[in-house]
Chain A
Amino acid sequence: MAEDHKTIRMIVQRQDEPEAQPYEEEFEIPYRKNMNVISALMEIRRNPVNAKGEQTTPVYWDMGCLEEVCGACSMVINGKAMQSCTALIDQLEQPVRLEPMKTFPVMRDLAVDRSRMFDSLKKVKAWVPIDGTYDLGEGPRMPESKRQWAYELSKCMTCGVCLEACPNVNSNSDFIGPAALSQVRLFNSHPTGSYHKAERMDALLDDGGLQNCGNSQNCVQACPKGIPLTTSIAALNREATLHSFKSFFGSDYHH
């Protein structure tokens, strides 16, 4: 009942700068109906006083769209990585614990640097090249059923939740993680994107690539967009089997 908890208890893991030691700080925030984690954080920003009544610095976090499409606001909420913009206070156990995702370098408090994900997308060439010295014209149309299927893969917002969930993405390994793998599948399936399939496959099988998947299948469970990551991975595995046969024995098929 709303009247029962007039305040929300929140424990935030804070860190003043990238190299600083993290510490915990507790807050009590006045309850309003239909709050999400971000509106609770905004409340702290408005009145940066911790639960002990001491004045403190406002908690810093990252956000963009506020509707779960940009991926910027991901953090670990009560032990699970998710988007803070769609995490509703009423559905969370209290005290609500907020931590930054540990897979990425922390910039400050809850904001992390997801550059490694963007670097991975560059590495596997997750785009359709359209620039050239002449007008390439329109590409072929995609069958509707395939478009619908590809649309699901295109929902990835590089939020980092799947990397956070993956036991093989950590400081001991240079695994690029599930998101970039699935994007290779998306762009290889695109009618024009498929022109560069072989290049993407080569990048994908480079160190830190596809082969680092250990099939814990946490990613597919954790992805907020319900992207069939493990299906993409297994399909790429099949592709990689064929690709490596072709490059080992040689092939006259130029694809």
Chain B
Amino acid sequence: MAENREFFNRRLHSLLGVFPIGLFLMQHLVVNHFATYSPEAFNNAAHFMENLPLRVFLEFVLIYIPLLFHAVYGVYIAFTAKNNLRRYGFFRNWMFMLQRATGIITLIFIVWHVWETRLAHAIYGTEVNFDMMATILESTFMFWFYVVGVVAAVFHFANGLWSFFVTWGITVTPRSQKVLTYATLGIFIIFTYMGIASLIAFAY
């Protein structure tokens, strides 16, 4: 794909945001939600995921590598825009700006989150389970850091899904795009609720 490199990168960026990254995010939030039932329920769900065959391979192919590309190219996209909300304060222009802002916030959050729950685990052998999360989230600062991170990530996914449908030419008419706005709003609400509920369950 020597020609149309930019087109290829953009489309790849859009695709990876949903498959696999978006799917992984949903899966992750569903697993976390077991924390609201009981610590054991969460530990069991987490262990099930941990014991999937070829876990490290899956993590790299389905999470780290796509995420790295999505992040690096996404930062580039974010910084080529010049936001103009003051002059053009339309709804979609707000979403455009927030998509870029939440992308950056999510990136910062994920770097920290991966360090804390994966690298520290690999280096110091800290065990990854309910108690570990409970310890982290004991601090009020970390709790709110996680809240912001989770809301940003879910927003970025839900609104990114909206763009995905437009970018691939699935929703063409203004009407279908509007219906999709409501559908993705629903996704945002449901997964934000699940994420926050899990955080509260870990912390309190």
Question: Which residue, B6, B77, B95, B162, has most C-beta atoms of chain A within 10 A?
Answer: B6
Q: Quick one: CB contact mask for B66-91 with A, threshold 8 Å, 1 for yes? A: 00000000000101111110111010
Contact segment of B19-27, B124-132, B137-145, B163-171: B163-171
Give the distance in Å from the alpha carbon of A237 to the alpha carbon of B164 in the complex: 11
Asked whether B93 lies within 8 Å of A211 as measured between CB atoms, the reply is no
Interface status of A85 (Cβ within 8 A of chain B): no
Q: How far is the CA of A211 from the CA of B93 in the complex (A)?
A: 17
Selected contact of A222 from candidates B5, B82, B86, B88, CB within 8 Å: B88
Report if A238-B169 is in contact (Cβ < 8 Å); known contacts: A211-B11, A217-B90, A218-B93. yes
Q: Evaluate contact between A215 and B81: CB separation under 8 angstroms.
A: no
Complex: chain B residue closest to A236, CB-CB: B169
In the complex the two chains form, is A214's CB within 8 Å of B169's CB?
no
The residue of chain A having its C-beta at the shortest distance from the C-beta of B14 within the complex is A211
> Is B96 on the interface with A (CB-CB < 8 A)?
yes
The distance in angstroms between the C-alpha atoms of A222 and B4, with both chains bound, is 29
Interface bracket on B: 35 or more
> CB distance B169 to A234 under 8 Å?
yes
B53 at the interface (CB under 8 A from A): no
Question: Of B32-40, B106-114, B172-180, B194-202, which stretch is located at the interface?
Answer: B172-180
Smallest Cβ-Cβ distance to A217: which chain B residue: B92
Contact of B177 among A80, A172, A234 (CB under 8 A): A234
Q: With contacts A80-B87, A168-B81, A222-B88 known, is A237 near B96, CB below 8 A? A: no
Could you say which of A216, A230, A244 has the most chain B C-beta atoms within 10 Å of its C-beta? A216
Chain A contacts of B83 at CB under 8 A? 167
CB of A14, distance to nearest CB on chain B (Å): 21
Number of inter-chain CB pairs below 8 Å: 103
**B6 contacts A211, C-beta separation under 8 Å:** yes
Interface size on A, residues (CB 8 A): 36
Shortest B172–chain A CB gap in Å is: 4
Instruction: Please give, as numbers and ranges, the residues of chain B lying within 8 Å of A209 by CB-CB distance.
Output: 6-7
Give the distance in Å from the alpha carbon of A212 to the alpha carbon of B11 in the complex: 10
A167 touches B82 (CB 8 A): yes
Select A210's contact among B7, B88, B92, B168, beta carbons within 8 Å.
Answer: B7
A88 on the B face (CB < 8 A): no
Quick check: B92 and A218 within 8 Å, CB to CB? Answer: yes
Given contacts A237-B167, A237-B169, contact A205 B4 (CB under 8 A): yes
Bound together, the chains give a CA A118 to CA B2 distance in angstroms of: 27
Partner of B169, one of A165, A172, A215, A241: A241
A235 touching B169 in the complex, CB below 8 Å, given contacts A80-B87, A206-B4:
yes
B81 engages A167 (CB within 8 Å): yes
For residue B78, which residue of chain A has the nearest CB?
A214
Q: Which chain A residue shows the least CB distance to B172?
A: A234
Beyond A167-B83, A231-B173, A236-B169, 13 additional pairs, beta carbon < 8 A: A165-B84, A165-B87, A206-B4, A209-B6, A210-B7, A212-B6, A215-B167, A217-B92, A218-B90, A221-B88, A233-B166, A234-B166, A237-B169
Between A and B, 6 residue pairs with Cβ closer than 8 Å are: A172-B79, A207-B5, A208-B6, A217-B92, A221-B90, A240-B7
